[in-house]
Amino acid sequence: MASVDVIIPVYRPDEKLNRLLIALKTQTILPEKIILIHTGEVLPGEPDYSAYQNVVLHIIAPREFDHGGSRNLGASLSEAKVMVFMTQDAVPADDYLLERLMKALMGVGDENCAAAYARQLPYEDCRAVERYIREFNYPGSSELRTKKDITVKGIKTFCNSNVCSAYRKDIFDRLGGFEPRTIFNEDLLYGAKAVLNGYGIRYEAEARVYHSHNLGLSDQFHRNFDNAVSQAEHPEIFKTVSSEKEGMRLVKYCISRMKEERKLYLVPYFVLNCACRYAGFFLGKRFSKLPGWLIKACSLNKRYWM
């Protein structure tokens, strides 16, 4: 089996990072290195990294953090054949996460698979609407998506998630890694680049992590503003595919799940949730026409605009 490193950007972590590091110690395939790209902002209760022999701690200034560039830095510190990028709040659901990702990525006949990303399961405290969204985006069946799927699956073809995703180092280097500066979607942008260059992206449902957020309405607005900004900054990709159709499929799925669970009382909140998402996305697509003060007010990532 090929060697593997795990790369994790770290910014003001909570207890989930400690749970993640502990879980990585019991995997059936152990990472050679756990590379932490840390902004240096230490909080009470943060893990004692010296207790982990294979942790490589690399400190950067908070102003230097970038979704693409900081992960490229982590990749430059890795010599493994497979790199698994994770976020600090994702926790493996079992001891087979790395093994299943690597088999999905490096299996027989998968020589052209550039990345394989994991299924995200909701935490116990996850609200119903967020749980439905997780179910829709991360179903129970795996699939490999390639260029031929674009006409049918649209933007879904490029989907990839750095919450937990494995990358072949040789292909990653060949494609030039992530966009060096991006406000959002560095993983999806890489997926698009890989697919358009003849590679595949695999969704591996058997590789599972716990990851969910109970975001407020304003957070949904800000996240979708940044999402749309990243799309507007890369028209060479996003003008050729539509994300609106996928959005409508998500709405229909969530409402059907509310009916199944007899939770139609959630519909008004869900409609408001969707309205906030759409408003953020609408403005983000048109950010170049907005004044600077309004862009900063709408964006979740204020540093990006400095």
Q: How high is the pLDDT of residue 60?
A: 93
Confidence band of 304 (pLDDT split at 50, 70, 90): very high
Domain stops at, among 175, 210, 245: 210
Q: How high is the pLDDT of residue 110?
A: 62
Q: Are residues 78 and 119 in the same domain?
A: yes
**pLDDT higher than threshold 60 for residue 49:** yes
Q: How high is the pLDDT of residue 121?
A: 97
Q: Are residues 170 and 196 in the same domain?
A: yes
Q: Are residues 24 and 54 in the same domain?
A: yes
Within 11-122, strands assigned E span 33-38, 55-59, 82-86, 91-92, 113-121
Q: Rounded to an integer, what distance in angstroms lies between the CA atom of residue 96 and that of residue 227?
A: 31
Q: Are residues 101 and 202 in the same domain?
A: yes
For the residues 209-229, what does the mean pLDDT come to? 95
Tens digit of each residue's pLDDT (9 = 90 or more) over 243-258: 777 788 899 999 999 9
Within 39-150, strands assigned E span 55-59, 82-86, 91-92, 113-121, 143-145
Q: Are residues 116 and 251 in the same domain?
A: no
Contact assessment for residue 206 and residue 102, using Cβ atoms and an 8 Å cutoff? no
Tens digit of each residue's pLDDT (9 = 90 or more) over 120-174: 999 999 999 999 999 999 999 999 999 999 988 889 999 999 999 999 999 999 9
Q: Domain range for residue 47? A: 4-130+137-210
Q: Where are the alpha helices (DSSP H) in 207-304?
A: 217-232, 235-238, 244-260, 267-285, 292-298
Number of domains in the chain: 2
**pLDDT higher than threshold 80 for residue 102:** yes
CA atoms within a 13 Å half-sphere pointing along the CA-CB vector of 118: 29
Q: How high is the pLDDT of residue 196?
A: 94
Q: How high is the pLDDT of residue 1?
A: 66
Q: Are residues 249 and 199 in the same domain?
A: no
**pLDDT higher than threshold 80 for residue 290:** yes
In which residue are the tokens 């230097």 written? 64
Q: How high is the pLDDT of residue 47?
A: 80
Q: Are residues 158 and 289 in the same domain?
A: no
For the residues 62-87, what does the mean pLDDT come to? 95
CA nearest to 76, candidates 149, 5, 2: 5
Residue 249 in tokens: 């499929």
Q: How high is the pLDDT of residue 63?
A: 87
Q: What is the DSSP letter of 206?
A: E
